[in-house]
A and B are shown apart, each in its own frame.
Chain A
Amino acid sequence: MSNGTNAPPSMNDSLSDGPKRRGRAVIGVGVAVAIAVVLLAAGFAGGYFLEKGLAPSGGSSTTSYTITETGSTLIYPYLNLLAPNFTSLYPNVAISPAGTGSGAGISGAEQGTVNMGGTDAYLLPSVAAQYNLINVPIAISSQLVFYNLPGLSVSHLNLNGTVLAMIWAGAISQWNNPLIQAANPGVSLPSTTITPLHRSDGSGDTFMFTSLCYLSWKGWSGGYGTTYSWKAGQPGYQGNSGMVTGLHSTPGGIAYIGISYLQSALADGLQYAALGDQAANVNGANPANYILPTPANISQDANLALQNLQPPSVAISLILGGVPGATNLVLGGGGTLPTAQYPTPYPDTNLEYILISTHPANPSLQKYVVVFLQWAISTGATAPRLASVNFLPLTPEVIGYDMQALSSVQVSA
C-alpha cells in the first residue's frame, strides 16, 4: 500500500549496511578475477605441457606425445578409427583428430597450428613447397552421383560428365531430356524438373565434382574449386549429410555425395548413377562407357593414373578414364597422362591427403607422425577399417611414393 509507512528499502541501504555491501562486492570481483586467472593459467599450462609432450603426471620414462590433426570431415571418421589402434601399439602417442573442413586442414598445416592437416583436395605442389609441406595420400576415395527419382525400371541411370555439367549449368532441366534418354535406352524417364543440389560449405567434393564438369563440357564456365558460383536458384546444403537429407526431400533432385555416405544415402531410398568415362562424353549412347563405383572399378581407376602419370605425382584431384588422343585426363598439379588407350575405370575418383611438414618445429614428435602415417598406409589400413568408411587401400605405387616422401621428413633436431 502507498501509505508512505514503508519507506523503500533502498533509501536506508547507504546508511545501514553500505560498507558491508561494498566489502562483499570487492570480494566478489576479487574472487571472479582470481578464478579467471587460475583458469587461464591452467589452460596455458595444459597447452604448454601438451605442446612439450610432457605428461603433467610425470613418472614415465617414455615421453608422451599428442599428435593433432584438423581438416576434412571425410577423413575424420577414418582417423578416429585408426587413432586408438595406433595408441594401443604406441601407448605414449595419442592422435587427436578434428573434422573441421579441408580448407581448415590446409590452413592449419600451413600455419603449423596442427601436426597433420587433412584434405580431400591436394595442395598445389608449388604452394606445398613454399610451406615445407608434403601431400601424403592415405586412402582412395570416390564420389557418387545420387538422384531422387523413384519408380525407374533400372537400378542405376547412366550419366556422363557432359550431361552432369549441363544439368548443373541449367542447360538440361528435365529428366526426359534427349541427352539423358540417349544414355539410357529403353528407360522410361519422367518429365520431372531436375533440381541439382550443391554443397553450401567449402568442400573437397565440390572440388572433385566441378573438376569433372570442367573437364567434361566445353560450356562449363567459372572453373572448379572447393566453392563455385552455382547457377542462381539451386539449393545448397551443409555437408554430405545435408546433401543426403536434402536429396531425400527433393523429388527430381540430383546430388554429388562422397562415397563415405553410401550406406546412409541408400538407407534413405536414394539411387546412384553409373558414370560415363571420357569415351561416354563423345559417345554417350554406348552402355559399355558407363561404370559403376565398385571397389574394383575405383581401384582400377586409381591404379591407371598412378601407374602412368608422368612425372610421377600424387597431387591429383580427379582421375578420369581415358580415350585415345584425349587430353586433360587427369586434373592435377603434378604430371600428365600420356594420351594412350586405357581401360575404362570409374571416373569420379580421388585421393585423401594428409599434409605434414618436412621441417617440423618439434622433430621428436614428428618422428611419431611419420611412424603413424607409415602404419596408416600399410598394416593399419585393414580391409574392415577401410570398408567402414568405403575407402579403398592405396595402390603399391602410391604407397611407394608415400614411403619415399616420408623419408624426407626431418625427424631429429
Chain B
Amino acid sequence: MNGSPIASGAPASPPSPEPPVVATEHLVVRSRERVILNDVSLAFPDRDVTAIIGPSGCGKTTFIRTLNRMTEIGSGLMVRGRVLYRGQDIYARGVNPVIVRQRIGMVFQRPVVFPMSIFENVAFGLRINRVDEATVERTVESCLRRAGLWTEIGDDLDRSGLTLSGGQQQRLCIARALAVEPRVLLMDEPTASLDPVAAQKVESLLFELRQNYAVIIVTHNLQQAARVATRTAFLYEGRMIEFDETKRLFESPREKLTENYVTGRFG
C-alpha cells in the first residue's frame, strides 16, 4: 500500500433498474498468510454485463470464484461476510454448493474441454441431472446456437471437443455452461488465451448473453471492459476502490487510484 490513501471499501451500488441478482456484503477472503479480499461489497444486476478490473494480484479472480463457492475446492481460503444470490446467502448453513454452481455458472481463462465428444461436452451438466435424451438433444442444439457454434460445427457433434480451435473451445465451454441453465455466468478472463479474432467472437457473444443472463466478467483488458460492460468495478490490493457505470468510471473516476489505473499509469 505504501501509505497511499485508499478509499475504504464502502458499499457502492450505482443506480440500477432491478434488484441485484448477486451481491456481496463486507466480503473478506483470507488465506493462511494474508488477506486477499478486504471488505468488498458489490451488487450485480440481472440481465447485464458487469466487469471487474484491476492489476494482477488485486484479488479479482478470487472474488469471482467466491461468487459460486469455487474457492472452497482445495484452496484452504477462509470466507467471511455474505454472498447473496437473489437474497439468499450462498455460504449459509444448509446451502448445497452443487446447487449454487448450477445457478451460477463459470467459464475459465483457458478453455477446459472434457476429453469427450462435442455433444457430450455440452450434455455434461444435463447428464448429471438425469435429463431425458430428447431434452438433452434439444438443449445441446440450442446452447450451441446461443454460443454461436452451431453453424460451424453443428453437423459434426461426435467429434472430440479437443479437436476444436481455441476460440471454438472457449465458446463450447460457454455453451456447456449455458446448458445447465444458470442465471449468472461468471467469466474469468475468457478471452485472455485467445487470438484477437476468436476473442472478438466471444465478446460479441457477450452482447447476446446479456439479454438473458447476469454476466460478471473479470478482465485486465480495459478496452474489453469498456466495450462489453455496463458497469465496472475496480479492485486494488483486495479492496473495492470504485464501482460505477463503465463510461463514468473510465472518463471521470472519483478516485485518484482509479484514474491512475485506467489511464495506464500502473498495472
List the interface of chain A (C-beta within 8 A of B). 1-5
Contacts and interface: CB of A to CB of B under 8 A. Distances in A.
B75 to A, nearest CB: 7
B75 A3 contact: no
A1 B75 contact: yes
B154 to A, nearest CB: 33
A5 B56 contact: yes
Interface string B122-145: 000000000000000000000000
B57 A5 contact: yes
- The list of the 9 closest CB pairs from A to B, nearest first, reads A5-B57, A3-B57, A3-B61, A5-B56, A1-B62, A3-B56, A4-B56, A2-B61, A1-B61
A1 B56 contact: no
B34 to A, nearest CB: 11
17 contacts: A1-B31, A1-B36, A1-B61, A1-B62, A1-B75, A2-B61, A2-B109, A3-B56, A3-B57, A3-B58, A3-B59, A3-B60, A3-B61, A3-B62, A4-B56, A5-B56, A5-B57
A2 B31 CA distance: 13
Contacts, number: 17
Nearest to A4: B56
Nearest to B110: A2
Contacts of B60: 3
B27 to A, nearest CB: 15
Contacts of A5: 56-57
Contacts of A2: 61, 109
Nearest to B188: A2
A2 B61 CA distance: 7
Given A1-B61, A2-B61, A3-B56, 14 more contacts: A1-B31, A1-B36, A1-B62, A1-B75, A2-B109, A3-B57, A3-B58, A3-B59, A3-B60, A3-B61, A3-B62, A4-B56, A5-B56, A5-B57
A209 B265 CA distance: 98
Nearest to B75: A1
A4 B188 CA distance: 12
Nearest to B189: A4
A3 B56 CA distance: 6
A5 B62 CA distance: 13
A1 B65 CA distance: 10
Nearest to B61: A3
B47 to A, nearest CB: 29
Contacts of B31: 1
Nearest to B77: A1
